[in-house]
Amino acid sequence: MAKLGTYSYPDIRFGDAVEIAARILGKFSGAVTVKGLAWELGMAENSGTLFAKIAALRDFGLVEGRGELRVSDLARRILNPATPEERREASIQAFQRVELLRALYERFEGEAADDTGLLEGLEEITKAPREEIVRRFTLIQKHLADAARAMKRAATQVEARVSASRSQPVAAAVVASGGVEAAADGTGLCLIAGEARLTAPLTLEYIDMAINLLRAMRVGLESGSKDGAVS
């Protein structure tokens, strides 16, 4: 695991850790030895990179055990949730297990911090030297963005804005926290239609919201066409 000051944090991003947990669950029925996971990932059994990945899985609470790694109940609720809300809540629990991410999230009240603000926040929280913070900054920034996407009450905000957009569909602007980055790296949903914009994590819940937004825009355009025909 990576460390900054007295704080440890995962050496890989949450999505990558979940993907490994999914492979353990799918290919090994939820339990695998360290040697078996090394073979699955194409790594040497004693490699530092392998141990860093396993440590990240433990940091997020996705696996349990030592000699044999078992997919946790938390990971199962992320991978096979009964509802989208269950997956979101389980993801939040995973991030809250990482003390540094929890401290940063609370400091910035769930909002994305600019580079300067994040550097200052890391200095204040970890008491680590500036050069060490700069060296580890990029991964921590990505972790914080991932955590913000999971922890932010984005679903409620987007649903409210999509509902509001039905009265003014062309002027709608719906943005979920962290969605722009998610869309940019290929893991998110990005919809741009006229002046309406929806950027969000790629989940069934947000796909439904995108469909609702398009339907609302269609109604608005149809109404506009009829008004134009009458005049």
pLDDT band at 108 (very low <50, low <70, confident <90, very high): confident
Better-scored residue on pLDDT, 158 or 82 = 82
Distance of alpha carbon 146 from alpha carbon 104, whole angstroms: 12
Residue carrying the six token digits 């339907």? 215
**pLDDT at residue 199, rounded to an integer:** 66
**pLDDT at residue 110, rounded to an integer:** 73
**pLDDT at residue 213, rounded to an integer:** 66
pLDDT in tens, 171-191: 333 444 344 444 445 556 777
| 215-221 own/partner pairs: CB under 8 Å, 24+ apart | 216/162, 216/165, 216/166, 216/169, 216/172, 217/165, 217/169, 217/170, 217/172, 217/193, 219/166, 219/169, 220/166, 220/168, 220/169, 220/170, 221/169, 221/170
Q: How many CB atoms lie within 10 A of CB 216?
A: 21
**pLDDT at residue 123, rounded to an integer:** 94
**pLDDT at residue 171, rounded to an integer:** 35
Q: Are 206 and 189 in contact (CB under 8 A)?
A: yes
Q: What is the pTM assigned to this prediction? A: 0.64
Q: Minimal CA–CA distance to 81: which of 10, 18, 142, 158?
A: 18
Residue 165: pLDDT over 60: no
**pLDDT at residue 132, rounded to an integer:** 93
pLDDT in tens, 193-220: 665 556 666 666 667 666 766 766 666 6
Better-scored residue on pLDDT, 10 or 218 = 10
DSSP states along 135-168: HHHHHHHHHHHHHHHHHS-HHHHHHHHHHHHTTS
Q: Are 41 and 29 in contact (CB under 8 A)?
A: no
Residue 154: pLDDT over 70: no
**pLDDT at residue 39, rounded to an integer:** 95
Better-scored residue on pLDDT, 200 or 103 = 103
